[in-house]
Amino acid sequence: MWRSVFDVARWPLVFILIFLLLSLGDDAVRQWLRFDRDAIAAGEWWRVLTCHWVHLGWNHTLLNSAGMLLVAWLLPKGRWQHWLVFWLAASVVTTLGVWLDDRTHWYVGASGVLHGVLVLATWFSVWLEPWRRKAMLAIIAGKLIWEQTPWYNDGQLMDVIGGYVVVDAHLYGGLTAYAIVLLFLFRARLRTRQRDVIE
């Protein structure tokens, strides 16, 4: 299906702008907003949410910004407020998952939550045909599974982004979104059964 390159959702562009602005603050901003196990334990709770807005450097920022451009291109349904609520909810779930796995002392980056946003943007895309939607959801799921196997090297992007990929963050963000997709499928099936009973 042909679409104009300008026919995109605008709220992901605002997210990209925030990523870029925070990256201008460099290490000082990153240190203050990142997931830091000791700092959170000491009561710096804002880090639960803010760690997903800051990045290791410009390459990391641009890589996650490219992911948000993909979300914009998918043109998902829904008001920006709904997507912000999902972002915040997925941030909490992802941070909690990273917290419970005590191997990670500090963490930054949008990619964990972004995996969840990509799943939902695919599911709620205005223009994707059903078969494309299913194919993309399967590809994302396959990527999440592959990252949990011994064959995935979490250091392969170190020279590009400046650190290890925390693949468990991808998993938690993705699972949050897949759970929502399953809820929508369940609700749709329930409505269909109710209509059958009434008819």
Domain ranges of the chain: 11-198
Mean pLDDT of 76-93: 96
Higher pLDDT, 4 or 28: 28
How high is the pLDDT of residue 198? 59
**Long-range Cβ contact pairs of 4-9 (< 8 A, separation 24 or more):** 7/75, 8/72, 8/73, 8/75, 9/71, 9/72, 9/74, 9/75, 9/76, 9/121
Interhelix angle for 80-100 vs 11-24, to 10°? 50
Backbone angles phi, psi at 157, to 5 degrees: -100, 10
pLDDT at 108 exceeding the cut of 90: yes
Backbone angles phi, psi at 166, to 5 degrees: -90, 90
pLDDT at 4 exceeding the cut of 80: no
Which CATH number describes the domain made up of 11-198? 1.20.1540.10
| Residues 9, 95: Cα–Cα separation, whole Å | 26
pLDDT tens profile 152-164: 998 888 889 999 8
**CA-closest candidate to residue 120, choices 82, 66, 63:** 82
How high is the pLDDT of residue 146? 96
pLDDT at 6 exceeding the cut of 70: no
Percent of the chain exceeding pLDDT 70 equals 93
pLDDT at 106 exceeding the cut of 90: yes
pLDDT at 2 exceeding the cut of 80: no
| Residues 151, 128: Cα–Cα separation, whole Å | 32
pLDDT tens profile 9-50: 999 999 999 999 999 998 999 999 999 999 999 999 999 999
**CA-closest candidate to residue 103, choices 175, 28, 169:** 169
| Residues 55, 82: Cα–Cα separation, whole Å | 24
Query: Is 10 buried (19+), middle (13-18) or exposed (0-12) by CB count in 10 A?
Result: exposed
Give the Cβ contact number of residue 132 at 10 Å: 13
pLDDT at 192 exceeding the cut of 70: yes
Sequence-ordered strand ranges (E) for 6-92: 35-36
| Residues 106, 51: Cα–Cα separation, whole Å | 9
